[in-house]
Amino acid sequence: MTNAPVVTPPGADVKKVAQPLDPAIREHLTPTLKKFTLTDRVAIVTGGGRGLGYNMAQGLAEAGIKGVAILDLLKDDGEQAARELSEQTGVDVRFYPVDITNDVAVQRTVQDIVNHYGRLDILINSAGIADSNMPAETYDLSKFKNLININLVGNFAVAQAVAREMIRTKTHGSIINIASMSGSVVNYPQEQNCYNASKAAVIMMTKSLAAEWAKYGIRVNAISPGYMDTALNRVPELDAQKKMWTDRTPQGRLGDVDELNNLAVMLASDASTFMTGSNIIIDGGYTLW
Ligand SMILES: NC(=O)c1ccc[n+]([C@@H]2O[C@H](COP(=O)([O-])OP(=O)(O)OC[C@H]3O[C@@H](n4cnc5c(N)ncnc54)[C@H](O)[C@@H]3O)[C@@H](O)[C@H]2O)c1
Protein backbone atom coordinates (compact mmCIF):
# COMPACT_ATOMS: atom_id res chain seq x y z
CA MET A 1 0.00 0.00 0.00
CA THR A 2 1.24 3.51 -0.78
CA ASN A 3 0.53 6.99 0.53
CA ALA A 4 1.28 8.76 -2.76
CA PRO A 5 -1.16 11.56 -3.62
CA VAL A 6 -4.33 10.67 -5.47
CA VAL A 7 -4.42 11.61 -9.14
CA THR A 8 -7.63 13.50 -9.70
CA PRO A 9 -8.87 14.54 -13.13
CA PRO A 10 -9.63 18.22 -13.66
CA GLY A 11 -13.25 18.97 -12.85
CA ALA A 12 -13.87 15.74 -10.95
CA ASP A 13 -16.87 15.74 -8.58
CA VAL A 14 -17.68 19.35 -9.45
CA LYS A 15 -21.39 19.87 -10.05
CA LYS A 16 -21.74 21.07 -13.62
CA VAL A 17 -24.58 23.23 -14.89
CA ALA A 18 -26.86 21.44 -17.33
CA GLN A 19 -28.21 23.27 -20.38
CA PRO A 20 -31.63 22.81 -21.98
CA LEU A 21 -31.92 21.59 -25.56
CA ASP A 22 -33.47 24.28 -27.74
CA PRO A 23 -36.39 22.55 -29.56
CA ALA A 24 -35.68 24.70 -32.61
CA ILE A 25 -32.18 23.24 -32.84
CA ARG A 26 -33.54 19.70 -32.63
CA GLU A 27 -35.53 20.28 -35.81
CA HIS A 28 -32.29 21.01 -37.69
CA LEU A 29 -30.46 17.91 -36.55
CA THR A 30 -29.61 15.19 -39.03
CA PRO A 31 -31.60 11.92 -38.70
CA THR A 32 -28.64 10.29 -36.94
CA LEU A 33 -28.26 13.03 -34.32
CA LYS A 34 -32.03 13.39 -33.84
CA LYS A 35 -32.19 9.78 -32.66
CA PHE A 36 -30.11 10.77 -29.61
CA THR A 37 -32.77 13.22 -28.42
CA LEU A 38 -35.45 12.33 -25.86
CA THR A 39 -38.25 14.76 -26.61
CA ASP A 40 -41.56 13.87 -24.86
CA ARG A 41 -40.01 11.02 -22.88
CA VAL A 42 -40.06 10.50 -19.12
CA ALA A 43 -37.37 8.82 -17.03
CA ILE A 44 -36.83 7.51 -13.53
CA VAL A 45 -33.30 7.78 -12.17
CA THR A 46 -32.70 5.90 -8.91
CA GLY A 47 -29.80 7.17 -6.81
CA GLY A 48 -30.17 10.44 -8.72
CA GLY A 49 -29.72 12.63 -5.63
CA ARG A 50 -26.00 12.81 -6.28
CA GLY A 51 -23.05 11.22 -8.04
CA LEU A 52 -23.34 9.33 -11.30
CA GLY A 53 -27.14 9.18 -11.13
CA TYR A 54 -27.47 12.96 -10.85
CA ASN A 55 -25.02 13.47 -13.70
CA MET A 56 -26.89 11.04 -15.95
CA ALA A 57 -30.14 12.85 -15.09
CA GLN A 58 -28.42 16.04 -16.30
CA GLY A 59 -27.47 14.21 -19.51
CA LEU A 60 -31.10 13.17 -20.10
CA ALA A 61 -32.24 16.76 -19.50
CA GLU A 62 -29.70 18.08 -22.02
CA ALA A 63 -31.07 15.59 -24.57
CA GLY A 64 -34.46 17.30 -24.35
CA ILE A 65 -36.39 14.94 -22.07
CA LYS A 66 -39.85 16.00 -20.82
CA GLY A 67 -39.63 14.77 -17.23
CA VAL A 68 -37.26 13.13 -14.78
CA ALA A 69 -38.22 11.49 -11.49
CA ILE A 70 -35.33 11.17 -9.06
CA LEU A 71 -35.66 8.39 -6.47
CA ASP A 72 -33.22 8.45 -3.57
CA LEU A 73 -32.87 7.81 0.15
CA LEU A 74 -31.09 11.13 0.71
CA LYS A 75 -33.89 13.68 1.13
CA ASP A 76 -31.81 16.89 1.14
CA ASP A 77 -29.63 15.84 -1.78
CA GLY A 78 -32.63 14.61 -3.75
CA GLU A 79 -34.65 17.79 -3.23
CA GLN A 80 -31.69 19.97 -4.13
CA ALA A 81 -30.89 17.86 -7.20
CA ALA A 82 -34.46 18.11 -8.52
CA ARG A 83 -34.67 21.84 -7.85
CA GLU A 84 -31.32 22.64 -9.48
CA LEU A 85 -31.92 20.47 -12.53
CA SER A 86 -35.33 21.98 -13.22
CA GLU A 87 -33.99 25.51 -12.72
CA GLN A 88 -31.10 24.83 -15.08
CA THR A 89 -33.07 23.17 -17.86
CA GLY A 90 -36.79 23.88 -17.42
CA VAL A 91 -37.41 20.13 -17.37
CA ASP A 92 -40.11 18.89 -14.97
CA VAL A 93 -37.85 17.18 -12.40
CA ARG A 94 -39.45 15.74 -9.27
CA PHE A 95 -37.89 14.10 -6.24
CA TYR A 96 -39.39 11.02 -4.60
CA PRO A 97 -37.81 9.98 -1.28
CA VAL A 98 -37.91 6.21 -1.48
CA ASP A 99 -35.87 3.22 -0.39
CA ILE A 100 -35.59 0.89 -3.37
CA THR A 101 -35.58 -2.13 -1.07
CA ASN A 102 -39.17 -1.30 -0.05
CA ASP A 103 -41.04 -2.92 -2.94
CA VAL A 104 -44.43 -1.63 -1.84
CA ALA A 105 -43.13 1.95 -1.73
CA VAL A 106 -41.41 1.44 -5.09
CA GLN A 107 -44.64 0.28 -6.76
CA ARG A 108 -46.61 3.16 -5.26
CA THR A 109 -43.96 5.64 -6.36
CA VAL A 110 -43.90 4.33 -9.94
CA GLN A 111 -47.69 4.71 -10.01
CA ASP A 112 -47.44 8.31 -8.70
CA ILE A 113 -44.87 9.08 -11.38
CA VAL A 114 -47.08 7.71 -14.16
CA ASN A 115 -50.07 9.60 -12.78
CA HIS A 116 -48.11 12.85 -12.78
CA TYR A 117 -46.27 12.61 -16.10
CA GLY A 118 -48.75 10.43 -18.00
CA ARG A 119 -46.05 8.10 -19.29
CA LEU A 120 -42.81 6.30 -18.46
CA ASP A 121 -40.12 5.46 -21.02
CA ILE A 122 -36.74 5.14 -19.31
CA LEU A 123 -35.29 3.76 -16.10
CA ILE A 124 -31.70 4.32 -14.98
CA ASN A 125 -30.96 2.14 -11.96
CA SER A 126 -28.03 3.93 -10.35
CA ALA A 127 -28.80 3.49 -6.63
CA GLY A 128 -26.21 1.31 -4.98
CA ILE A 129 -23.77 0.99 -2.12
CA ALA A 130 -20.23 -0.37 -1.81
CA ASP A 131 -18.43 -2.28 0.93
CA SER A 132 -14.67 -2.29 0.49
CA ASN A 133 -11.76 -3.73 2.45
CA MET A 134 -13.91 -6.54 3.82
CA PRO A 135 -12.02 -9.86 3.92
CA ALA A 136 -14.43 -12.69 3.11
CA GLU A 137 -13.48 -14.77 6.15
CA THR A 138 -14.66 -12.05 8.56
CA TYR A 139 -17.42 -10.48 6.46
CA ASP A 140 -20.50 -9.85 8.58
CA LEU A 141 -23.38 -11.78 7.00
CA SER A 142 -25.91 -9.09 7.84
CA LYS A 143 -23.81 -6.58 5.86
CA PHE A 144 -23.57 -9.05 2.99
CA LYS A 145 -27.35 -9.49 2.90
CA ASN A 146 -27.95 -5.75 3.13
CA LEU A 147 -25.68 -4.99 0.17
CA ILE A 148 -27.27 -7.69 -1.99
CA ASN A 149 -30.68 -6.41 -0.95
CA ILE A 150 -29.87 -2.92 -2.26
CA ASN A 151 -27.62 -3.57 -5.26
CA LEU A 152 -29.52 -6.57 -6.63
CA VAL A 153 -32.97 -7.03 -5.09
CA GLY A 154 -33.76 -3.31 -4.89
CA ASN A 155 -32.71 -2.69 -8.47
CA PHE A 156 -34.80 -5.66 -9.57
CA ALA A 157 -37.81 -4.31 -7.65
CA VAL A 158 -37.62 -0.99 -9.51
CA ALA A 159 -37.06 -2.68 -12.89
CA GLN A 160 -40.05 -4.95 -12.26
CA ALA A 161 -42.38 -2.12 -11.26
CA VAL A 162 -41.29 -0.06 -14.28
CA ALA A 163 -41.54 -2.96 -16.73
CA ARG A 164 -45.07 -3.80 -15.51
CA GLU A 165 -46.08 -0.27 -16.40
CA MET A 166 -44.31 -0.40 -19.79
CA ILE A 167 -45.97 -3.73 -20.59
CA ARG A 168 -49.39 -2.41 -19.55
CA THR A 169 -49.07 0.68 -21.74
CA LYS A 170 -47.21 -1.12 -24.57
CA THR A 171 -44.31 1.32 -24.20
CA HIS A 172 -41.10 0.25 -25.92
CA GLY A 173 -38.97 1.48 -23.05
CA SER A 174 -35.32 1.32 -22.07
CA ILE A 175 -33.92 0.11 -18.76
CA ILE A 176 -30.28 0.84 -17.92
CA ASN A 177 -28.68 -0.83 -14.92
CA ILE A 178 -25.50 0.64 -13.49
CA ALA A 179 -23.37 -2.39 -12.76
CA SER A 180 -19.57 -2.08 -12.43
CA MET A 181 -16.34 -3.41 -13.88
CA SER A 182 -16.28 -5.24 -10.51
CA GLY A 183 -18.88 -7.55 -12.03
CA SER A 184 -16.26 -8.68 -14.57
CA VAL A 185 -12.91 -8.42 -12.75
CA VAL A 186 -11.78 -8.65 -9.12
CA ASN A 187 -10.62 -5.26 -7.85
CA TYR A 188 -7.14 -4.89 -6.35
CA PRO A 189 -6.01 -4.41 -3.61
CA GLN A 190 -9.23 -3.99 -1.64
CA GLU A 191 -11.18 -7.12 -0.78
CA GLN A 192 -14.87 -6.62 -1.58
CA ASN A 193 -16.26 -9.99 -2.60
CA CYS A 194 -19.88 -9.07 -1.85
CA TYR A 195 -19.86 -5.89 -3.98
CA ASN A 196 -18.19 -7.75 -6.85
CA ALA A 197 -20.72 -10.58 -6.61
CA SER A 198 -23.62 -8.11 -6.52
CA LYS A 199 -22.45 -6.41 -9.71
CA ALA A 200 -21.83 -9.71 -11.53
CA ALA A 201 -25.42 -10.53 -10.60
CA VAL A 202 -26.64 -7.18 -11.95
CA ILE A 203 -24.96 -7.95 -15.29
CA MET A 204 -26.58 -11.40 -15.50
CA MET A 205 -29.92 -9.98 -14.35
CA THR A 206 -29.63 -7.42 -17.15
CA LYS A 207 -29.09 -10.12 -19.77
CA SER A 208 -31.92 -12.29 -18.40
CA LEU A 209 -34.40 -9.39 -18.28
CA ALA A 210 -33.36 -8.35 -21.80
CA ALA A 211 -34.16 -11.84 -23.09
CA GLU A 212 -37.48 -12.01 -21.20
CA TRP A 213 -38.76 -8.54 -22.04
CA ALA A 214 -37.65 -8.25 -25.67
CA LYS A 215 -41.09 -9.59 -26.64
CA TYR A 216 -42.62 -6.46 -25.10
CA GLY A 217 -40.20 -4.15 -26.91
CA ILE A 218 -38.41 -3.31 -23.66
CA ARG A 219 -34.63 -3.07 -23.91
CA VAL A 220 -32.38 -3.73 -20.91
CA ASN A 221 -28.67 -2.87 -20.92
CA ALA A 222 -25.94 -2.34 -18.34
CA ILE A 223 -23.18 0.22 -17.96
CA SER A 224 -20.15 -0.99 -16.03
CA PRO A 225 -18.03 1.92 -14.80
CA GLY A 226 -14.47 1.61 -13.61
CA TYR A 227 -13.23 3.88 -10.82
CA MET A 228 -15.17 7.12 -10.93
CA ASP A 229 -14.44 10.16 -8.76
CA THR A 230 -17.66 10.26 -6.73
CA ALA A 231 -18.56 10.39 -3.02
CA LEU A 232 -18.76 6.59 -3.05
CA ASN A 233 -14.97 6.58 -3.44
CA ARG A 234 -14.28 9.62 -1.27
CA VAL A 235 -13.98 7.73 1.97
CA PRO A 236 -10.76 8.04 4.01
CA GLU A 237 -10.14 4.27 4.05
CA LEU A 238 -9.78 4.28 0.26
CA ASP A 239 -7.39 7.23 -0.04
CA ALA A 240 -4.18 5.20 0.07
CA GLN A 241 -5.51 2.77 -2.52
CA LYS A 242 -6.49 5.30 -5.16
CA LYS A 243 -2.91 5.70 -6.40
CA MET A 244 -2.84 1.95 -7.07
CA TRP A 245 -6.12 2.21 -8.97
CA THR A 246 -4.85 4.97 -11.23
CA ASP A 247 -1.53 3.16 -11.77
CA ARG A 248 -3.53 0.16 -13.01
CA THR A 249 -5.69 2.24 -15.30
CA PRO A 250 -4.12 2.75 -18.76
CA GLN A 251 -5.55 6.28 -18.94
CA GLY A 252 -3.95 7.00 -15.53
CA ARG A 253 -6.92 8.63 -13.82
CA LEU A 254 -10.34 8.11 -12.25
CA GLY A 255 -13.36 8.78 -14.41
CA ASP A 256 -15.02 12.18 -14.20
CA VAL A 257 -18.57 12.10 -12.81
CA ASP A 258 -20.18 12.97 -16.14
CA GLU A 259 -18.32 10.42 -18.24
CA LEU A 260 -21.24 7.96 -18.30
CA ASN A 261 -23.74 10.57 -19.50
CA ASN A 262 -23.37 10.15 -23.25
CA LEU A 263 -23.67 6.38 -23.17
CA ALA A 264 -26.68 6.67 -20.85
CA VAL A 265 -28.37 9.01 -23.34
CA MET A 266 -27.58 6.68 -26.22
CA LEU A 267 -28.97 3.63 -24.40
CA ALA A 268 -32.07 5.58 -23.34
CA SER A 269 -32.75 6.84 -26.85
CA ASP A 270 -33.58 5.55 -30.32
CA ALA A 271 -29.84 5.68 -31.05
CA SER A 272 -29.62 2.12 -29.68
CA THR A 273 -32.83 0.42 -30.81
CA PHE A 274 -31.09 -2.88 -31.71
CA MET A 275 -29.10 -3.02 -28.46
CA THR A 276 -30.36 -5.14 -25.62
CA GLY A 277 -28.63 -7.34 -23.04
CA SER A 278 -25.34 -5.51 -23.54
CA ASN A 279 -22.92 -4.68 -20.76
CA ILE A 280 -20.67 -1.79 -21.72
CA ILE A 281 -17.54 -1.14 -19.67
CA ILE A 282 -16.35 2.47 -19.24
CA ASP A 283 -13.17 2.23 -17.22
CA GLY A 284 -10.30 4.15 -18.83
CA GLY A 285 -8.96 0.75 -19.88
CA TYR A 286 -8.65 -0.75 -16.36
CA THR A 287 -9.92 -4.18 -17.39
CA LEU A 288 -7.34 -4.40 -20.23
CA TRP A 289 -4.42 -5.17 -17.89
N1 LIG B 1 -18.20 5.61 -8.26
C2 LIG B 1 -17.63 4.55 -8.82
O3 LIG B 1 -16.40 4.45 -8.93
C4 LIG B 1 -18.48 3.45 -9.35
C5 LIG B 1 -17.87 2.45 -10.11
C6 LIG B 1 -18.63 1.42 -10.62
C7 LIG B 1 -19.98 1.37 -10.36
N8 LIG B 1 -20.57 2.35 -9.60
C9 LIG B 1 -21.99 2.23 -9.35
O10 LIG B 1 -22.64 3.39 -9.80
C11 LIG B 1 -23.81 3.62 -9.02
C12 LIG B 1 -23.79 5.07 -8.51
O13 LIG B 1 -22.62 5.24 -7.73
P14 LIG B 1 -22.11 6.69 -7.25
O15 LIG B 1 -20.64 6.65 -7.30
O16 LIG B 1 -22.87 7.74 -7.93
O17 LIG B 1 -22.52 6.59 -5.70
P18 LIG B 1 -23.19 7.67 -4.73
O19 LIG B 1 -23.07 7.07 -3.37
O20 LIG B 1 -22.62 9.01 -4.98
O21 LIG B 1 -24.71 7.65 -5.22
C22 LIG B 1 -25.54 6.55 -4.97
C23 LIG B 1 -26.90 7.05 -4.61
O24 LIG B 1 -27.74 5.90 -4.36
C25 LIG B 1 -28.57 6.21 -3.25
N26 LIG B 1 -29.03 4.98 -2.60
C27 LIG B 1 -28.28 4.07 -1.96
N28 LIG B 1 -29.07 3.10 -1.45
C29 LIG B 1 -30.34 3.43 -1.77
C30 LIG B 1 -31.61 2.84 -1.50
N31 LIG B 1 -31.72 1.72 -0.79
N32 LIG B 1 -32.72 3.43 -1.99
C33 LIG B 1 -32.62 4.59 -2.71
N34 LIG B 1 -31.45 5.19 -2.98
C35 LIG B 1 -30.33 4.63 -2.51
C36 LIG B 1 -27.67 7.03 -2.33
O37 LIG B 1 -28.44 7.77 -1.39
C38 LIG B 1 -26.90 7.89 -3.32
O39 LIG B 1 -27.53 9.13 -3.55
C40 LIG B 1 -23.79 2.58 -7.91
O41 LIG B 1 -24.63 1.50 -8.26
C42 LIG B 1 -22.35 2.11 -7.89
O43 LIG B 1 -22.19 0.80 -7.41
C44 LIG B 1 -19.84 3.38 -9.10
Q: Do residues 42 and 122 make contact, with C-beta atoms less than 8 angstroms apart?
A: yes
Q: What share of the chain is helix, strand, coil (3-state, %, to 5)?
A: 45, 15, 40
User: Quick check: is 195 catalytic?
Assistant: yes
| Angle (deg, nearest 10), helices 193-213 and 155-168 | 10
What's the gap in Å between 154 CA and the centre of ligand 1?
A: 12
pLDDT recorded at residue 3 = 33
Helix then strand count (H, E) for the chain reads 10, 7
pLDDT recorded at residue 8 = 45
Q: Which residues pair with 225 in a beta bridge?
A: 282
- What does the pLDDT look like over 109-144, one tens digit per residue? 999 999 999 999 999 999 999 998 999 999 999 999
CA distances to 102, 127, 157 from 149, in Å: 10, 12, 10
Rounded CA-CA distance 210/251 in Å is 32
Q: Which residues pair with 125 in a beta bridge?
A: 46, 177
Sketch out the chain's domains with CATH numbers: 30-283 (3.40.50.720)
pLDDT recorded at residue 230 = 87
pLDDT band at 12 (very low <50, low <70, confident <90, very high): low
Give the mean pLDDT of 180-194: 96
User: Is the bond preceding residue 236 a cis peptide, omega within 30 degrees?
Assistant: no
State the catalytic residue, choosing from 54, 96, 117, 195: 195
pLDDT over 60 at 6, yes or no: no
Q: Do residues 122 and 91 make contact, with C-beta atoms less than 8 angstroms apart?
A: no
Rounded CA-CA distance 80/95 in Å is 9
- What does the pLDDT look like over 70-117, one tens digit per residue? 999 999 999 999 999 999 999 999 999 999 999 999 999 999 999 999
Q: Tell which atom from ligand 1 comes closest to the C-alpha of 48.
A: 39
Rounded CA-CA distance 36/24 in Å is 15
CA-nearest of 117, 107, 102, 94 to 164 is: 107
State the catalytic residue, choosing from 126, 199, 227, 272: 199
For 8, left (φ over 0), alpha (ψ -120 to 50), or beta?
A: beta
CA distances to 14, 100, 153, 201, 244 from 222, in Å: 25, 18, 16, 11, 26
Q: In sequence order, which residues have a C-beta less than 8 Å from that of residue 259 and are 6 or more positions away?
A: 228, 282
Query: Which residue type does 110 have?
Result: V
Rounded CA-CA distance 59/70 in Å is 13
Q: Do residues 125 and 155 make contact, with C-beta atoms less than 8 angstroms apart?
A: yes
Q: Tell which atom from ligand 1 comes closest to the C-alpha of 55.
A: 16
Rounded CA-CA distance 17/14 in Å is 10
pLDDT recorded at residue 201 = 99
Give the mean pLDDT of 242-252: 95
What's the gap in Å between 126 CA and the centre of ligand 1?
A: 6
pLDDT recorded at residue 235 = 79
Q: Which residues line ligand 1 (CB under 6 A)?
A: 46-47, 49-53, 72-74, 77, 99-101, 126-130, 150, 154, 178, 180, 225, 227-228, 230-233
- What does the pLDDT look like over 18-75, one tens digit per residue? 999 999 999 999 999 999 999 999 999 999 999 999 999 999 999 999 999 999 999 9
Atom 8 of ligand 1, nearest CA residue: 180
- Residue 141 burial (10 A CB sphere; 0-12, 13-18, 19+): exposed
Rounded CA-CA distance 154/100 in Å is 5
Mean pLDDT of the chain, nearest integer: 94
